[in-house]
Structure 1
Amino acid sequence: MKKLFTKISFIFLIGIVIAACNAEKRVPDGKRLLTKNKILVNGKSTSEENVTNQLYQKPNGKLLGYPLRLNLYNLANLNPDSTYQAKFTADPGKFARKSKWLSAKQVNRLGKSFWYHGIHDFLKKTGEPPVIIDTVKSAKSVSRLKYYYFNNGYFNVDAEYKLDSLKSKKGQIRYTITTGNPYILDTIKTAITTPVLDSLYEASKALSLLKTGKQFKTENFEEEKVRVTNLFRNNGIYYFQPTYMSYNIDTIQKKDKANVDLIINNYSYQDKDSTRTEPFKRFKISDVNVYTDYTANNNAKPIKDSVQYKNFNLYSHEKLQYKPHAITDAIFISKGSYFADNKTVLTTRYLSNLKVFNYPIVQYEIDKRDTTYSSLIAKIYLTPRKKYSFGASADVTHSNIQDIGIAFSPTLSIRNLFKGAETLEISARANLGSSKDLANPKNQFFNVSEYGLDFKLNFPRIFLPFGTEKIIPKSMIPSTLIAIGFSRQTNIGLDKENFTSAFAYNWTPKKNYTARFDLFNAQFVRNLNPDNYFNVYGSSYNALNTLGKTYSVDPTNFDTDGNLIIQNGTSGFTSDVINDNTSLTAADDDYKSVKSIEERRVRLTENSFILATSFTFTKTTKTDLQDNTFYLFKSKIESAGSLLSLISKTSGLATNSNGNYELFNLEYSEYIKSEFDYIKHWDLTKEKVIAVRSFFGIAIPFGNSKNIPFSRSYFAGGSNDNRAWQPYSLGPGSSGGTNDFNEANMKIALSAEFRFKILGQLKGALFADAGNIWNVLDNVTDPKYKFENIKSLQNMALGTGFGLRYDLSFFIVRFDFGFKTFNPAKDSGEKWFKELNISKSVVNFGINYPF
């Protein structure tokens, strides 16, 4: 409590110091600090981003209405060297006195220390100097505003500025803009000299961005140039460039209207000392030549090997190392087709995606064999990557199991394994981690470990015995992944071995779309230390121990302290209850509690086998890591065990004592699972972003299963979920997270964040997370755990809080402080706003943004 009071006092003191800063401290006499830009358009105030971006000067940035960076800058000493030396000028004997216990050199170096110099450099760098009103820049802003509105069709725009002086050394600039009526496009005509271009344009005229009745906008004219250029260059017009296209805009004797003439002249070229013109030609591809081992050094060497395959010519300076189809399947430029830029782009993209070549070079040259000079030879130069490459990576990690971990992963890549552009990746991984929440009797810092080995073989095509070109054409960049892996974990105390394998197809149906079909995805989980269950799941043990002290009839189940012995005592007492060797009957609540504890123990400690088929579809508009205006939608459906049950039934296999089928003496899991995930970001400019996420998932057991395996179930809480709860501590339903690792088979999660810049690379966020997990259509009977109807949504937990994030460029370090705003586990009247204090907050550490 004392430490907390000290921290709060320190923060409060800093706040007082900053608040006491004079915002005009660095404003020279006769100058004014810019506090506001007020823009009036036709008498109405506007803060539209496109308009405010035209201004050369903007006020100092604010955090929640407070000019933090300006006041930090004002705290800095702009000339710390002079200040330090002035101390000795004012008191000449001071330097001598300091030199007695510090050398003269050390006294001089003291002036460069953090306290005298570095802190002021930090404040200047982190802070922001005052924005002083500059009327020259205001006049330039007026010119830019007029230009902006002119480009949006306001040809008679008028603009001016006025300086409004405020008290002290402050002022604001008021920009007044009168636009008049915008000009509207009236008659649109074309003058296209080359007939073939005229025909192509007329065929796509409906897609034109210039239409009668639309407001004049310069950007539409520029975008129409881009559209027409792409149209022509994707239809064989090899020499066409945007410069061949121009506009004649006539507003004479027109009131607020403009006639537009779109002009495209003939192709012009230099012939010796004169310029000639002629109609544009449509070029066809006469040959496609592929150089499979091109380098700058061997370009002049003779070709030693060549193959003609499906109208493609493959050449090699040495022996050809690739099956022809492996390369030609990735090429969309074909003999006899018209030249097209989009086919060039698609070809380079697909060839790069093979991961066996460096970025390819595609060039075209006129085929001199064609006397009409309307044919092109496509030349594709491929530079192979090394067949073998080795890489290694080391990471600091964070997950829902471990608070912090150190991971190391070496990888060996083997390219063109079977001469069909296949790639094999062999990767090992080792991880050491620490978690304060896990069983750790020896009190070791690194109490989580994992090591494993994975093999991934990728084929750059759909690997099937029949053709799939009509269903999944090669333009969708299909691939086949075959993977197997093994890992051994020492984490929550049970310790596991995990064997996985997958056979999956991937393709991109359209730009920004991805699809994956797992023909099968198998997982075998083997628990190595099941007898340690009650040492790990302490809450289950405490509940069973309490019941054992009341109902056990066998004194050998207890130790000298009167507690159930793990494992003999817990299993002995459970067996006595289920076999009716105690006073409990099946109708008693305590009997049901013991049975529920045992069912959970069996489920979490038994080995499990999952053979699943799934389909995943993703669509996103995200362009890069800096994109803050995008959405992502992801859906997945998975079915497990159905094929095995079908085989078992048709084969007439016998069931075990539980009425279930077995594979290798192990009951396999059977369920169907579906998930939907949606993320949306809005960029509010000035590094302010609103981000939301919604998630729904449900897994329904049937047939061979009455519940969902732990590895396929859902949990709530943690740094990427509801941040007011620790991982696995929320739900199910209103149960209050009584188990050590709470999970269920249905989940709803909703999150929203407002992200903003604080100063420099330090960012902030305000967030709200809602959601929970429930049991539905499985063998859980307690109504607190179950989702029964729409009223169960009243158990949606709500967490709110704030976060601090620091951008290290290659990743973001994140701390989120969550508060339980609505806790469904509390009694009525105690659910809302009863845990909004620092002592009950949850601090989550994370890497990168949660969504």
Structure 2
Amino acid sequence: MKNQSIIGFIILSIGLISCGQYHSFEIPSPVINQINLTGNRQISKAELRTNVMGVKNSYRRLLPAKLYTYLGIKRKRKDSLEIKPSFIQFFKSPNPSYNLAWLTTNKVQIERYYRENGFLKAKIKSNVDSIANLVNVTFEIEEGEPSYFTKEDSLSVDNPILAEHVNSYIKENSLIRPMGRLKLEVLKKEKEQLSHHLRNEGYYYFSPDAVGIRINDVKDSTLRRISLYYKIPEFKNHTLIANYDRLYRIGVPEFSISDPFGNPAEHPPLKSLSKLINLQEDDLYSVDLFNQSLKNIYLTDQFKTVSIRFDTTRTRLFPKIELFQNEKYNFSSELGGSIFRGIPGPFLTNSFKVRRLFSSLDYFDFSTRIGYEAQSGFINTTDTRNNLELNVSASINFPSLYLPKALIGKLGSYYGAKTSVGVGFDFINRPEYQRTNLNLFQRYTWQKSEYSFFTFSLINLNLLNTIYPETATSDSFKAYLDELKGKGNNLYRSFNPSFVSSLSFQYIYRDLLPSNELKNGKIFQIGLESGGSTLNLVPSHKFSFVTDLLNSGQDIQFYRFLRLNFDYRKYKMLGRNQKSQLAFKLIGGVAYAYGDENDYQLPYEKNFFIGGPSSVRAWKPRRLGPGSYVSSSSLVEQPGSILIESSIEYRFRLFPLFGQMNGAFFVDAGNVWNMTQGNTDPSTQFHLSDFYNQIAVGTGFGLRWDFDFFLLRLDLATKVINPANPVNQKWVLSQTSFEGGQNPIEFNIGIGYPF
């Protein structure tokens, strides 16, 4: 559309320029032809044009300013006659009129922007060149030396107790940093943060308006090194002064609870709700703790709305919390489907929620999913059939941590706590096998801050069983598993009767939510898991009752293992307009099986895998590694017990196209390895002395089609270093081809960013 507009514009312009009416047209009054900025060194032209409206455009255009002025006058004439304009609508932005007031205003705005960003002695001059009412303006900028904070600040606070709190904040929490450049925006944020800090210390009525921050020019008259003078209070409205320095303590909270129909709730859970308030009677007021308390109440999923106001007419703050209950029962159902190789596959998902089942604040979740979706066969991947899958899960959730008080005390301040206990059942019916998994779990979740999340699970039991029908397809599949077993692949363990138990801990720090919007931020995640710990208490390392329960006639696999994994991601916006992004990912993990009863093998699902659209994109999903192992088939997944993976990606805008089309260049690297114990191929084993020679590297280019509500991704990737090749043949970039061969281009299609 944009290209069509430009072509039409040029055609129309050529026609107009050759027209006699246009040729005789004269610009009636001075207009801006061009705006230039010179002399700037530390603040870019792009930044100035972004933040100073008068110089936002340079007005350098494809065709003459006379044409824009002519079309602008013509458009105004049509508007006044109420004639619907057509193509002329493309020229609604004529060059602005020039006058002395415009020039003075923009000089002042540029100078103000410089002063607000630490250049207190900046000077702006202007040169004006005019030909036939076309004015070229050049703003000559003398930036001068910037001013920096020294942190040699002084303080004037009327209330001595308040002065101690302010002084502590300036020393430990201030946004002002030594040798940071003076910026008025930083001073504004300093006022807001100081106010927020004091409101967490009991000063309910304190506001940024009470804080005065001035530049102290006594210590350095050149203003190159800035000392600040904090003055509290400094109200412009003196009627607000009364209670700014008064400390408030909390009174007993009062709850007003309405049922879903607006009537007073029967048997309101006052005692349980009071436990969710993070402040006790006689504690100093804290805005953060009260916000956390409201979040505690909201996360119980019992209330549609949660609001609070404070009664300040007495000597203390008495919270009055108003709550409207959710309906006791909720049911939702979704019918959908997918298409694989032209074969439709329907599925049905149901969810049922019951609130206040056993107590006043618990809720019970029950969900089912049944699907009859098309999938390719294991042996003959070109064969496609519909397979039945059934998933059932049920859980009960309580808004507190059911842990010993001594342990809870060691957690310190937290909120958003939840204890969940549940059971799940999965059933898969394929021509090759029928597989079931019975899962029993319990977990604790809580938050320490807006960005920090914790999960601790004491119980996670999985009882897996596989039944093979007496068919030729099933016999072929069992033979296929035996073949993989002989090659060192332990996929067969996933289909043996198994009992997998574990306890785990996970910590996540996240200062941004996953979305299609490019932002600054970082994510860090670490997980610890111990599998089969209770088996160490049994001499045989097995539970006989599990064997009796399955009664499959096969040996039951019991696993003992330790597993550690971490995931670090960093996102940095780049460019003067912050429109592009550099994204970095580093993932690692190690899993150690110490149970010799299974030849030191892990449960298949506890292995690490690498390769695919969200991993190392130059390899097919789960097909890279382990180590320098050369696989005889690209159909076989390659598990490992050690993982190192990293990616770096530069993301940038391209052009609008029914949304926004973006691009990316990326480099991926990593591999998986096996431990040295057990029956493993030496080429797959991890050795500290030479593991770096087995790091795979891939690179490529991608397109991201951003529709706001979802993002469609296409990545083209090629291998750069292939660790499976001999030592002198690992570099394979020159062998890249779209037509197969040793290094074919891999096409990866996905929804959302790869990380």
Compute the TM-score of the two structures, normalised by the length of structure 1: 0.69
Asked if structure 1 preserves the Cα contact closer than 8 Å seen for 2:365 and 2:394, the reply is yes
State how far apart, in whole Å, the 2-side matches of 1:217 and 1:347 are: 35
State how far apart, in whole Å, the 2-side matches of 1:846 and 1:762 are: 15
1:712 aligns with 2:606: yes
Relative distance call for 1:395 and 1:292 in structure 2 (3 A) is same
Deviations 1:667-708, CA, capped at 9 Å, x for gaps = 212221111111111111443111111111222222232212
Matches within 5 A, 1:221-232: 221-232=187-198
1:480 aligns with 2:371: no
State how far apart, in whole Å, the 2-side matches of 1:699 and 1:205 are: 46
Amino acid at match of 1:416: R
Structure 1 portions without partners, runs of 5+: 1-13, 61-66, 72-78, 80-116, 299-316, 369-373, 537-564, 575-592, 657-661
Matches within 5 A, 1:511-660: 511-529=450-468, 566=476, 596-597=486-487, 600=490, 602-622=492-512, 625=515, 626=517, 628-649=519-540
State how far apart, in whole Å, the 2-side matches of 1:791 and 1:243 are: 62
1:391 aligns with 2:391: no
Asked if structure 1 preserves the Cα contact closer than 8 Å seen for 2:148 and 2:178, the reply is no
3-state SS of paired residue (2:684): coil
User: More displaced, 20-29 or 694-703?
Assistant: 20-29
C-alpha deviation, 1:644, in angstroms: 1.3
C-alpha deviation, 1:519, in angstroms: 0.7
Matches within 5 A, 1:239-258: 239-247=205-213, 249=215, 251=217, 255-257=221-223
Equivalent residue, structure 2, for 1:800: 699
Q: Which has the larger radius of gyration?
A: 1
Equivalent residue, structure 1, for 2:280: 334
1:775 aligns with 2:666: no
C-alpha deviation, 1:633, in angstroms: 1.2
1:355 aligns with 2:321: no
1:837 aligns with 2:726: no
Asked if structure 2 preserves the Cα contact closer than 8 Å seen for 1:732 and 1:785, the reply is yes
3-state SS of paired residue (2:438): strand
Asked if structure 2 preserves the Cα contact closer than 8 Å seen for 1:619 and 1:633, the reply is yes
3-state SS of paired residue (1:779): coil
Asked if structure 2 preserves the Cα contact closer than 8 Å seen for 1:752 and 1:769, the reply is yes
Equivalent residue, structure 2, for 1:682: 572
1:754 aligns with 2:647: no
State how far apart, in whole Å, the 1-side matches of 2:473 and 2:33 are: 66
Asked if structure 1 preserves the Cα contact closer than 8 Å seen for 2:122 and 2:143, the reply is yes
State how far apart, in whole Å, the 1-side matches of 2:227 and 2:484 are: 86
Deviations 1:134-171, CA, capped at 9 Å, x for gaps = 97899866544322221133222113467999xxx9x9
C-alpha deviation, 1:833, in angstroms: 1.5
1:262 aligns with 2:230: yes
C-alpha deviation, 1:414, in angstroms: 1.4
State how far apart, in whole Å, the 1-side matches of 2:182 and 2:554 are: 74
1:694 aligns with 2:589: no
State how far apart, in whole Å, the 1-side matches of 2:521 and 2:244 are: 43
State how far apart, in whole Å, the 1-side matches of 2:373 and 2:261 are: 48
State how far apart, in whole Å, the 1-side matches of 2:138 and 2:339 are: 49
Amino acid at match of 1:832: V
3-state SS of paired residue (1:616): strand
Asked if structure 1 preserves the Cα contact closer than 8 Å seen for 2:716 and 2:748, the reply is yes
Asked if structure 2 preserves the Cα contact closer than 8 Å seen for 1:139 and 1:161, the reply is no
State how far apart, in whole Å, the 1-side matches of 2:364 and 2:279 are: 28
Asked if structure 2 preserves the Cα contact closer than 8 Å seen for 1:58 and 1:131, the reply is no
State how far apart, in whole Å, the 2-side matches of 1:414 and 1:671 are: 37
Relative distance call for 1:771 and 1:265 in structure 2 (3 A) is closer
Equivalent residue, structure 2, for 1:659: none
Relative distance call for 1:294 and 1:365 in structure 2 (3 A) is farther
Equivalent residue, structure 2, for 1:504: 443
Equivalent residue, structure 2, for 1:590: none
2:199 paired residue among 233, 255, 263: 233
User: More displaced, 611-620 or 818-827?
Assistant: 818-827
Equivalent residue, structure 2, for 1:416: 356
Matches within 5 A, 1:100-499: 142-160=107-125, 176-180=141-145, 182=147, 188-207=153-172, 208=174, 216-247=182-213, 249=215, 251=217, 255-257=221-223, 261-265=229-233, 280-293=245-258, 297-298=262-263, 317-322=264-269, 324-368=270-314, 374-393=315-334, 408-435=348-375, 438-439=378-379, 443-444=383-384, 447=386, 449-464=388-403, 468-473=407-412, 475-490=414-429, 493-499=432-438
Asked if structure 1 preserves the Cα contact closer than 8 Å seen for 2:696 and 2:723, the reply is yes
Relative distance call for 1:607 and 1:801 in structure 2 (3 A) is same
Equivalent residue, structure 1, for 2:709: 810
Amino acid at match of 2:695: M
1:738 aligns with 2:632: yes
Using the aligned pairs only, state the percent identity: 20
Equivalent residue, structure 2, for 1:9: none
3-state SS of paired residue (1:222): helix
Equivalent residue, structure 1, for 2:77: none
Asked if structure 1 preserves the Cα contact closer than 8 Å seen for 2:257 and 2:323, the reply is yes
State how far apart, in whole Å, the 1-side matches of 2:252 and 2:280 are: 8
Relative distance call for 1:826 and 1:461 in structure 2 (3 A) is same
Deviations 1:413-442, CA, capped at 9 Å, x for gaps = 112221241121111123454455754689
State how far apart, in whole Å, the 1-side matches of 2:156 and 2:562 are: 62
Amino acid at match of 1:718: G
CA RMSD of aligned residues (A): 4.8
C-alpha deviation, 1:239, in angstroms: 2.8
Asked if structure 2 preserves the Cα contact closer than 8 Å seen for 1:717 and 1:728, the reply is yes
The alignment covers a number of residue pairs equal to 690
Amino acid at match of 1:843: F
State how far apart, in whole Å, the 1-side matches of 2:306 and 2:439 are: 35
State how far apart, in whole Å, the 2-side matches of 1:789 and 1:385 are: 57
Relative distance call for 1:259 and 1:700 in structure 2 (3 A) is closer
Asked if structure 1 preserves the Cα contact closer than 8 Å seen for 2:696 and 2:721, the reply is yes
Relative distance call for 1:780 and 1:770 in structure 2 (3 A) is farther
State how far apart, in whole Å, the 2-side matches of 1:649 and 1:276 are: 75
3-state SS of paired residue (2:664): strand
Amino acid at match of 2:191: K
Deviations 1:787-806, CA, capped at 9 Å, x for gaps = 33432332222222222222
Relative distance call for 1:351 and 1:47 in structure 2 (3 A) is same
Amino acid at match of 2:200: N
Amino acid at match of 1:705: N
3-state SS of paired residue (1:644): helix
Amino acid at match of 1:463: Y
Relative distance call for 1:844 and 1:450 in structure 2 (3 A) is farther
Asked if structure 1 preserves the Cα contact closer than 8 Å seen for 2:413 and 2:448, the reply is no
1:847 aligns with 2:751: yes
Asked if structure 2 preserves the Cα contact closer than 8 Å seen for 1:506 and 1:515, the reply is yes
State how far apart, in whole Å, the 2-side matches of 1:689 and 1:632 are: 15
State how far apart, in whole Å, the 1-side matches of 2:663 and 2:129 are: 34
Equivalent residue, structure 1, for 2:22: none
1:54 aligns with 2:20: no
Asked if structure 1 preserves the Cα contact closer than 8 Å seen for 2:497 and 2:555, the reply is no
Compute the TM-score of the two structures, normalised by the length of structure 2: 0.77
Deviations 1:273-312, CA, capped at 9 Å, x for gaps = xx996884323233321223378944xxxxxxxxxxxxxx
C-alpha deviation, 1:719, in angstroms: 1.2
